[in-house]
Amino acid sequence: MSVLPGSFAVLAATGVAALLFAPFVAGEHRRHGELRVGIALRRFAVLLYAFGLFSYVFLPFPSDAACFAPQWRPLAGLTSPAMLAQFACNVALFVPLGALVRGGRSAAVLAGTAASVLIELTQLTGFWFAFPCPYRVFDVDDVIANTAGALLGGLLAPLRQRLPDGTSGRPATQPRPVTAARRLLGMCCDVLVLWLLGVACARAADIALRLTGTAPTRWWEAAALWLAPAALLLVTLLVGHGTSLGQHAVMLRARAPNGRPPPAAALLRWAAGIGGLAVAQGVTEGAFGEPGAVLGVLWCAAHAWSVTRTRDHRGITGLVAGLEMIDARRSHGAPDLARPT
């Protein structure tokens, strides 16, 4: 079996997860007060399964015309150990689907049958007439195997309730401690936002260059990938009074000892953190043609280490800007949950 479908599924699922990670973290903190790690892993497993199912059923697409006759006779093809093994694999392929469907065994069987029929019709019609003839075999045995797998998954669904979801059970409005893990989660969101903004700005710059007929330069690419996103993130920090988008996602807030952080503190925080990283990478790419991978790794490692070692987990940016991190749900005058009382 080719590794192409599996590789595509892993890469596609990881890419979509990275795209949705920061909004998912923000939604979890606002609806449940925290990131439920078990739920996050289940969501990624569902995403990976969806891409894996698509990949192993439809990929790779044919490079030339290849036609296969449909197999309409139930269980007529199970004449060899290899075909029996394929039948078993088709059963196993739909067990996760049956386990994920809510509504009991009947709903699992209905969902498995409907999904399998849709897949087989897609194969029979050559991906809905995108190809001149079926490039995969329409096999009624696949519908039987997939339905059996969905039923088995429906029978195993009660075991899913025993999996931990990682929730503390506290109300969403109750403040949580400012932990190193929470700060690192916010930092991961900031790095992903920087990457996504860089991709979006680079795409916009590419379109502008094509429209104007201008050839790209190294500094133009560096500005699109790094410097423009850094400027956008500076605006968000100034508007957020020193609180980054990643910190907003995990419901943290920057606070100065004497009240609201001044713009200078926000600027210092940006320069010592995500903004400084982006500018350094942009200058390196503009000067040498590629960003400094070692510089980026060391920069992130230093900030991650400082979060675990500094008071209140304020990290390098908090030390440079003179700011501390508190839970955004804290009422005025409430004790700092990051410190022992």
Of 162, 197, 218, which residue constitutes the final position of a domain?
162
Q: Give the residue from 123, 119, 116, 117 showing the smallest Cα distance to 137.
A: 123
Which residue's entry shows tokens 């490692």? Answer: 301
Residue at 340 is within a domain:
no
Query: Is 199 found in the same domain as 144?
Result: no
Nearest-10 Cα torsion for 101, 147, 138, 57: 40
Are 34 and 137 found together in one domain?
yes
| Residue 228 located in a structural domain | yes
Domain membership of residue 334 (yes or no) is no
Q: Kindly state whether residues 187 and 145 are assigned to the same domain.
A: no
Same domain, 38 and 126: yes
Query: In which residue ranges of the chain is pLDDT below 50?
Result: 1, 332-334, 338-341
How would DSSP label each residue in 134-157?
-SS--BHHHHHHHHHHHHHHHHHG
Task: Note the pLDDT of residue 213.
Answer: 86
| 128 and 197 together in one domain | no
Residue 285 burial (CB count, 10 A): 20
- Residues 148, 11, single domain; the answer is yes
User: Is residue 155 included in any domain, yes or no?
Assistant: yes
Helix (H, G, I), strand (E, B) or coil at 73: coil
147 lies in the same domain as 105: yes
Q: Are residues 69 and 153 in the same domain?
A: yes
Q: How confident is the model at residue 30, as a pLDDT?
A: 94
Global pTM value: 0.82
Instruction: Clarify whether residues 154 and 8 are in a common domain.
Output: yes
Tokens (6 digits) for 312: 């209140």
Looking at 162, 197, 219, which one is the last position of a domain?
A: 162
Give yes or no: residues 188 and 318 share one domain: yes
The upper half-sphere exposure of residue 137, i.e. CA atoms within 13 Å in the direction of its Cβ, equals: 10
Q: How many domains does the chain have?
A: 2
Write down which residue in 114, 129, 162 finishes a domain: 162
235-251 residues labelled b (16+ CB within 10 A) or e (exposed): ebbeebbbbbbbbbbbb
Tokens of 50: 């969806």
Q: What is the span of the domain harbouring residue 133?
A: 4-162
